[in-house]
Amino acid sequence: MPVMPGAEAYHHAGGQIGVLLCHGFTGSPQSLRPWGEYLAAAGMTVALPRLPGHGTTWREMARTRWEDWYAELDKALADLRGSCAEVFVMGLSLGGCMALRLAEVHGDGIKGLVVVNPSIVNDAPLLRLAPLLKFVVASVPGIAGDIKKEGAAELGYTRTPVKAAATLLRLWSLTRSELGKITQPVLVFHSPQDHVVKPGSVRILRERLTGGNLNVVELADSYHVATLDNDADRIFAGSLEFITANASVPLQRD
């Protein structure tokens, strides 16, 4: 299946600090590409995979489930750990959820997390019916493009495949149930004006991550896809500062 121009995966071979970037549900690497290039310019080895079923057509995505997306990220993480001394994981929206899940599973194998408007709860009541609805309706209107900045656009689907969305309930539940396993430092960038992910996800993170490892930064001038929005530079610079503060090996700039 041809990949949409701009939705390609991105990789940069840099220094001994690796960063895995995880894009969101129905989105593509395009939403995180500027972030990845910023970290690459700072000397990091960067992996930004295209999740299965993404960046092509929503019909292809309908043949995938959360386990497929997670497996792609898990493989990319293994590759980074094989070539870098330390690895940080960062993600947007559902990519933030999968970043948290990776930390739960891999523990000390991940040095720290940066998540932007992470999604770990069901914000759409109708989604509870998705396991049944998928037999009646193939797709519903998409969620891509929630950006405040004029002229900015996200490369994502205009339709959401119900069959794929139905699998999210299990991922969210599993991730929430094991948040207590996360002991790494976690930096959350949160947009109060988010029209896709409601405040409940960040509230749960505040309630469950009580070991002093959580820092939440509000983004007052961005909507959901903040990595392409008015506060993008704050996210990029803040993530680099986070890496610098928590890495045990020095940065190696190109």
The catalytic residue positions are 93, 194, 224
- Of the candidates 194, 153, 21, 31, the one whose C-alpha atom is nearest the C-alpha of residue 95 is 21
Identify the bridge partners of residue 21 per DSSP, sorted by sequence position. 90
Minimal CA–CA distance to 46: which of 15, 2, 23? Answer: 15
**SS3 (DSSP) at 158:** coil
Give CA 51 to chain center in angstroms.
11
What is the three-class DSSP state of 200? helix
Which residues make Cβ contacts (< 8 Å) with residue 202, sequence separation at least 6?
118, 188, 190, 216
Task: Quote the CA–CA distance of 61 and 55 in Å, as a whole number.
Answer: 9
Integer Cα distance of 86 and 216 in angstroms: 23
- Each residue of 53-64: b (16+ CB within 10 Å) or e? bbbbebeebbeb
